[in-house]
Structure 1
Amino acid sequence: MESGSMKWRVKGKQELNSASAITVRSVLNAITSKVSPTDERPIIPLGHGDPSHFPSFRTTCIAEDAIVDAVRSAKFHCYSSTTGILPARRAVAEHLSNDLPYRLSPDDVYMTIGCTQAIEIMLAVLSSPSANVLLPRPGYPYYEARAAFEHLEVRHFDLLPEKGWEVDLDSVEAVADENTVAMLIINPCNPCGCVYTYEHLEKVAKLAKKLGIIVITDEVYDHLTFGNKPFVPMGVFATIAPVVTVGSISKRWIVPGWRIGWLVTNDPKGILRQSGIIDSIIGYLNVSADPVTFVQGALPQILEKTKEDFFSKIKGVMREAANICYDRFKDIPSIDCPFKPEGSMFVMVKLNLSLLEDIDNDTDFCLKLAKEESVIILPGSAVGMNNWLRITFAIEPSSLEDGLARIKAFCERHSNSKMQ
């Protein structure tokens, strides 16, 4: 019988289509497709935070040698255990404990396939028919995408650009209710480039305690700070409210493709265990894929032997790039940069559409910029801020200068003559 005359019962899952449409990857793919094939200039990628393509950001030889040593040892060709191999979990516990007033145990650490899987685990564990989770606006849209996939309600609280992108604590309390289970903090912040102070994070922890919720803290950019504020882990305040930390070596070591991360429970009072969260995390890991074992095997050497001069060099390049961004945007009237970035790899800038002709909104700006100048940036609407732009400065400084010059030329070409 011809297949055309049969009724096939298979059907795609629409939730995947709608959830994936709001990811950074999906939005940037759509914008990149608009680049003119006749433009002989190199594409300037200011939209995606992956500096590993550029010579200034090559990872340390310590990390590369650790991978080679792990493979040649022939000790890590096996399957991983559910929560990760013990040497890796122990190394992460010791590494993170250096910044905490207490010591983490290897049993507090769960190895994951990058920070992405750690995010997936927590949102899956927290999802239930009535639960909601509080996410920052602007924020990292993968959280929204995964929450949609898990049928977990999202409510947004605001970050305040006029206060260096601090959390609007009043807005947190306004959107929370008896079904709220957790709130997210991203520090150092993607997409804003801010670094939160000890005092501000303590206020967040106290509010979480008042609301009876846990704090998920995304610290994938931990210690990537180059302003006046040092990095303070949210786990410092775990005696106030339970904290779940998600992180990885992807950004600090400039190896996002290695896909090794962690989920860590900062829970001195045992609240997460008593509530069943720990059992649910393990249950999820029992039915999911494991991070590559030889990369786990290399982790102790990577974490313990990397020298501070490597991190200082990377932060120096970031500092220079952040300054370039902040200074160059002062010369573009239609774009305002309200806050010089102090951490992560990103800055948020605001469009003044009244000074531009033939530009409808932030997405229109990015599509036309890609077509006319071969510069790729992320529209702010993708991270919850209409008519803003998220720009990464983690590229070669010369390419950054080129990209910003093209943005200026684009804005001048589209300037509103009536506003001159």
Structure 2
Amino acid sequence: MRSQDILEAVEEEGRPWLKEGGQMEMASQMHLKPQIHSSDCEIMVEVIDVSARAAAIEYAIRDVVVPAVELEKQGHEIIRMNVGDPLAFDGLPTPKHMISAYKDALDNQKNGYGPSYGIPELREAIAVSETKKGWACEMDDVYVTHGVTEALQIIFASFLEPGDKVLAPGPHYPPYMAYPQMYGATTVEYRLDPNDGWRIDLEDIKSKMDESVRLLVLINPNNPTGNVASVEEIDSLIHIAEQWPKCTIIADEIYDGLDFTNKFVSVASRSNKVPVLALNGVSKVYFAPGWRIGYMAWHDPSGKLGLVRDGVERLLRSRLCASTPAQFGYLAGLTDDTDWLKGHRSRIKERLDYCINRISEIEGLECEAPGGAFYLFVRISNDKLSSDDKNFVLRLLEEKHVLVVHGSGFSPEYGHGHFRMVCLPPIEILDEAFNRISDFLGG
């Protein structure tokens, strides 16, 4: 069965099943599963409908794994460059002192429920870390979550009503598109300029702001492009938000420690009027994504968010708490020496530079050098191939067994004709991946 067929089956309304011989059959309009035959019975099963909320959710980064797994079952070795998980590759381990702190918590029976907003020691350490970035953060401003993704879910649930809008960069991390629709809201994308290093198109933001925009998102450094916003861009974005009293800024800064330009600036440190929700966590800079610990730090200089914070705290209490031992592991990362990060950053930069160099040698591909994070957002400059970036990705997977993510999965409008690749594998694996990509493009 072709990779395209498998992925399309996942995306279809309803759910497919595979019959003998690999032929795909879908439920009828009456939602009846095809007959199941045996030697002595014939059964017709009525299918239970999925909710519209769940059926509408797409997550391109992991959706492409479905056909990859099928190929692996057939014995093919896939070079996976789709998920930003440093632990999937050699040379980027979780720091030993963080693992020791996690183990110590387990050994000392710190395995019970923790406070719903996070253990006090970690909240205080996060507040100190955020204050060092240039704004006065207190422990009570910090809420610990199951990763940044849960923080987003809670924020959207607390801020959004039907008809509201989220204004997010295009391209962006997929949950910014997926989750608001669960609350009847809409995500509108503002343009990042692909011809200017994916800088923010401030005029486009101005043209799309109105009273229904409750949340204005900045991902900095950006996923998937790697652009690092300048202080001038941040100040301009804040100035735009100031014109709309109901607007709050989400500053997704999960990659802040992987800024190779040395120009990263905390959004909260620049705002003296507009509320800013700073998001960060253990996954990317502290190399422990499986621990699922993130946080949101609330900067509310005008005191606008009291009612919303009450809603957030209600939701946090209702879901109990984040992992207690994992919080102690993150605490060690924030409070102990961070010299180890220099080696990790150096290895990531070396791998990024290698990827940029290899892409420059392949006719039909182009990319901007990222300022941060560990991705490349690659333009497919071959017109025949760029018209359908999803098909490009699936063909590359099926024919050369290299897994990347279609750019339209990060933005149907602004990501079209691109693909995102993770540059974390060791050089020898990257070398093989690019050899296959070059061969795929006829090079």
What TM-score, normalized by structure 2, do the two folds share?
0.85
Q: Which of residues 356, 369, 377 in structure 2 aligns to 1:340?
A: 369
Q: CA deviation at 1:150?
A: 2.2
Distance in 2 separating the partners of 1:321 and 1:374: 20
Q: CA deviation at 1:325?
A: 1.5
Cα deviation, 1:48-95, whole Å, max 9, x if unaligned, reads 111202221111111111111222233x23212221121111111112
Report what 1:77 is aligned to. 111
Distance in 2 separating the partners of 1:175 and 1:355: 32
Report what 2:132 is aligned to. 98
Q: CA deviation at 1:281?
A: 0.9
Corresponding letter in the other structure for 1:372: E
Structure 1: stretches of 5+ with no match in the other structure: 414-420
Report what 2:275 is aligned to. 242
Report what 2:16 is aligned to. none
In structure 2, the CA distance between the partners of 1:330 and 1:267, relative to structure 1 (3 Å rule), is same
SS of 1:79's partner is: coil
In structure 2, the CA distance between the partners of 1:269 and 1:383, relative to structure 1 (3 Å rule), is same
What TM-score, normalized by structure 1, do the two folds share?
0.89
Given that 2:220 and 2:251 are in contact with CA atoms closer than 8 Å, whether structure 1 keeps it comes out as yes
Q: Which of residues 289, 299, 302 in structure 2 aligns to 1:256?
A: 289
Q: Which of residues 224, 237, 241 in structure 2 aligns to 1:208?
A: 241
Q: Which of residues 177, 198, 204 in structure 2 aligns to 1:165?
A: 198
Distance in 2 separating the partners of 1:402 and 1:409: 11
In structure 2, the CA distance between the partners of 1:387 and 1:38, relative to structure 1 (3 Å rule), is same
Structure 2: stretches of 5+ with no match in the other structure: 1-42
Distance in 1 separating the partners of 2:329 and 2:407: 37
Segment drifting more, 395-404 vs 56-65: 395-404
Cα deviation, 1:197-226, whole Å, max 9, x if unaligned, reads 222111111111123311101111111122
Given that 1:66 and 1:302 are in contact with CA atoms closer than 8 Å, whether structure 2 keeps it comes out as no
1:19-418 matches, within 5 Å, as 19=57, 21-26=58-63, 28-33=64-69, 35=71, 42-74=77-109, 76-100=110-134, 102-212=135-245, 213-226=247-260, 228-273=261-306, 276-308=307-339, 310-337=340-367, 339-354=368-383, 361-384=388-411, 385-412=415-442
In structure 2, the CA distance between the partners of 1:301 and 1:39, relative to structure 1 (3 Å rule), is closer
Corresponding letter in the other structure for 2:199: E
Structure with more relative contact order (C-alpha pairs < 8 Å, separation 6 or more): 1
Q: CA deviation at 1:39?
A: 6.2
Distance in 1 separating the partners of 2:149 and 2:212: 25
Q: Please give the root-mean-square deviation of Cα atoms over the aligned residues, in Å.
A: 2.1
Corresponding letter in the other structure for 2:402: V
SS of 1:223's partner is: helix
Distance in 2 separating the partners of 1:5 and 1:199: 64
SS of 1:55's partner is: coil
Distance in 2 separating the partners of 1:5 and 1:377: 40
Q: CA deviation at 1:132?
A: 0.9
SS of 2:179's partner is: helix
Segment drifting more, 292-301 vs 53-62: 292-301
Given that 1:45 and 1:376 are in contact with CA atoms closer than 8 Å, whether structure 2 keeps it comes out as yes
In structure 2, the CA distance between the partners of 1:15 and 1:39, relative to structure 1 (3 Å rule), is same
Corresponding letter in the other structure for 2:406: P
Higher helix share: 1
In structure 2, the CA distance between the partners of 1:223 and 1:230, relative to structure 1 (3 Å rule), is farther
Segment drifting more, 317-326 vs 296-305: 296-305
In structure 2, the CA distance between the partners of 1:351 and 1:45, relative to structure 1 (3 Å rule), is same
Cα deviation, 1:353-403, whole Å, max 9, x if unaligned, reads 3365xx751111111111111100000110111111111102222211211
Q: Which of residues 34, 54, 61 in structure 2 aligns to 1:16?
A: 54
In structure 2, the CA distance between the partners of 1:329 and 1:34, relative to structure 1 (3 Å rule), is farther
Given that 1:334 and 1:355 are in contact with CA atoms closer than 8 Å, whether structure 2 keeps it comes out as no
Distance in 2 separating the partners of 1:38 and 1:144: 34
Distance in 1 separating the partners of 2:182 and 2:189: 17
Distance in 2 separating the partners of 1:92 and 1:229: 21
Paired residues in the alignment total 397
